Structure 1
Amino acid sequence: MKAFTKLVLVGVAAAFVAFQWRGPTLDPESLKGARVLVTGASTGIGEQIAYHLAGFGAKVVITARREKVLQQVVEKCQVLGAQKALHIAADMANPSDPERVVKFAVDKLGGLDYLVLNHIGPSPFAMWDGDVEHTRWLMQVNFLSYLQMAKTALPVLEQSKGSIVVVSSLLGKMCSPFVAPYSSTKFALNGFFGTLQHELAMQRSNVSITICVLGLIDTDSALEKVKGFTNIQAWPASEAALHIITSGATREAESYYPWFWYYTCLFRDWFPYFRDRSIRNFYEYEH
């Protein structure tokens, strides 16, 4: 009975904190004229980030693999009010492209205030089939290219007192079926950039790092992958994009969208048996 009472009290306390917590407030004026590089910006969350930034009057460079689609996004950014909107096509699986993209943005914008790392490579939503090469390739796209871009941007961001914003995932905090290669890259991101946060703080660096932990977002690619596997609620890409921008602009160390996933991660190791049973029950699988 005492244990149950404690559990109830913890639940009530968590609900109270959730009710009181409103998150940081974004000052749109702080982004007017801001120089921002956004990766993975041809579709989905990255595209929505670019549109929000354009509406705030930022100067934006976007990148992804498909140049024609990037051009369409740039044109819309210009209509929405971006002070400057440019694109550069790049493939983050190519080890030379991450550095090239950052140098392009710095050259065209005259510096950099925000580096928003959002791109991911395609990966099947399926049981792992033993394909080590795919995981190695995905590590380059989803993880190592982030490091390359951060390394190249850090000296410039130090001068501007800028920020690195890393778009991560709940799947980099909690293990789930069907996403072994993808999840491994997100765990790596959280580990590396979480460590880098400490090191920059110890060096009294001007650069902040924000890690954004997202749940399932309603992008076309994400919904198509999980179709027939789960009924987990998907959340709007536009809202996720605004959350990412707000978290970076207010220099949060870590943020969650939707917010309640924070409490899921907070309690994840308290009842591992029930946690794992619950996770598996979210998915459907036939042998």
Structure 2
Amino acid sequence: MGTLVKLILASVCAFLAVRWTAPRFNEESLRGVRVLVTGASTGIGEQMAYHYARFGAQIIITARREKVLQQVAEECLTLGAQKALYIAADMSSESEPNKVVEFALEELGGLDYLVLNHIGPSPFSMWEGDVDHTKWLMQVNFFSYIQMAWKAMASLEQNKGSLVIVSSLLGKMSSPFVAPYTSTKYALNGFFGVLQHELAMKKSNVSVSLCTLGLIDTESAMAKVKDITTIPPYPTKDAALRIIQTGATRQLELFYPWFTQIVTLSKDWFPSVTNYVIQNSYNYNP
């Protein structure tokens, strides 16, 4: 058996072993916990809010649209949340990310989970030199994340809390039409990967979970890729639940769907083949 085949088999076996030995999720562990979820007016963030509500958590949700947030918070109370509050905020602002965390700490008396999920709108198209948009998106998708993480860190440390970072397969491997977005996700993976190391070295009480997602069937994602790609999407509700389970069990990383981990390895094993597959997964006519 060739060395490459042995390496592939060993990697797959190691991956399966990790999946089978992952800590078991206990729904009761989330009853009464204090959670802040960003980007919660729609998509994955909205579904996470509903899952936390069903588990009996105390929830603060944030996004830009106040009326939609109000509706989501009301639904959370209907589903069983012990508390459900909202605060509208624009994460492109340098001050509002901190204000959101301050609001959550004041209203809940502390945080057990900080779930960072928000993203700014970005075109699904070839990059044509719009540096200003890329800078703006870095503030929304990256700098606001590290602002909020630092602002919440003392409370998370005190409560043996968890940071949950929603990232993307596009932060592990490049793909066409999403240069600004991909840049922000690479930045997230790099920064919070370092933070995982540093918190562990300091024997901190805070866990950091990095969640790598493939294509999820959110309304915004489907609108962008309609008639452009053949890549199959996966359900938003299930992705949201898996993110919550990963944070609750304090796992370092989530790959959803599961094969995204194999895909990330393929770019190192077979870079030319991987690039060919990626470039031919889109219907592009110059």
**TM-score, structure 1 normalization:** 0.95
CA apart distance, 1:15:
5.4
Quote the Cα distance in structure 1 between the aligned partners of 2:247 and 2:12: 26
Gap regions ≥5 residues in structure 1: none
1:156 CA displacement: 0.7
> Is the partner of 2:268 in helix, strand or coil?
coil
Q: Is 1:71 the counterpart of 2:70 in the alignment?
A: yes
Which runs of structure 2 are paired with 1:109-148 in the superposition (5 Å)? 109-148=108-147
Distance in 2 (alpha carbons) for counterparts of 1:133 and 1:71: 32
3-state SS, counterpart of residue 186 of structure 1: helix
The worse-fitting range, judged by mean Cα deviation, of 11-20 and 92-101 is 11-20
Name 1:234's counterpart in structure 2: 233
In the aligned structure 2, how far is the partner of 1:13 from the partner of 1:145? Answer: 39
- The answer to whether the 8 Å contact 1:167/1:212 transfers is yes
Alignment-derived partner of residue 264 in structure 1: 263
**2:258 alignment partner, SS class:** coil
For 1:13-162, list aligned pairs within 5 A: 13=10, 21-22=19-20, 23-162=22-161
SS at match of 1:53: helix
The alignment partner of 1:60 has SS state of strand
SS in 1 for 2:87: strand
How big is each residue's C-alpha offset from its partner over 1:217-261, in whole Å with a ceiling of 9 and x where there is no partner?
000000000112101010000000000000001111111001111
Matches within 5 A, 1:136-285: 136-285=135-284
Distance 2:256 2:177 in 1: 22
* Secondary structure in 1 matching 2:167: strand
Gaps of 5+ in 2: none
CA contact (8 A) 2:266 2:274 kept: no
Amino acid at match of 2:71: Q
Aligned residue for 1:267, secondary structure, equals helix
Letter paired with 1:224 = A
How far the C-alpha of 1:283 sits from its partner, in A, is 1.0
CA–CA separation in structure 1 for the residues paired with 2:9 and 2:187: 33
Instruction: For 1:172, give the aligned amino acid.
Output: G
In structure 2, what is the Cα distance between the partners aligned to 1:114 and 1:268? Answer: 33
What per-residue deviation string (whole Å, max 9, x for no partner) do you get for residues 78-102 of structure 1?
0000000000000000111000000
* 1:12 Cα offset (Å): 4.8
| CA distances 1:194-231 after superposition (whole Å, capped 9, x unpaired) | 00111111111111100000000000000000112101
Once the two structures are TM-superposed, the CA of residue 7 in structure 1 deviates from its matched residue by 4.4
How far the C-alpha of 1:25 sits from its partner, in A, is 2.1
For 1:163, give the aligned amino acid: S
CA RMSD of aligned residues (A): 1.4
* 1:106-129 Cα distance to aligned partner (Å, 9 max, x none): 110111000000000000000001
Identity of aligned residues (%): 63
After superposition, give the CA deviation of every residue in 1:133-159 in whole Å (9 maximum; x if it has no partner): 000000000000001000100011110
Give the deviation of 1:267 after TM superposition. 3.1
CA distance in 1, matches of 2:140, 2:23: 31
Letter in 2 for 1:136: K
| Partner SS for 1:112 | coil
The amino acid across from 1:113 in the alignment is D
Q: Which one is further off, 182-191 or 17-26?
A: 17-26
Paired residues, number: 284
State the SS of the aligned residue for 1:184.
helix
Deviation at 1:18, TM superposition (A): 5.9
Counterpart CA distance in 2 for 1:29 and 1:246 is 12
Contact in 1 for aligned 2:58/2:81 (Cα 8 Å): yes
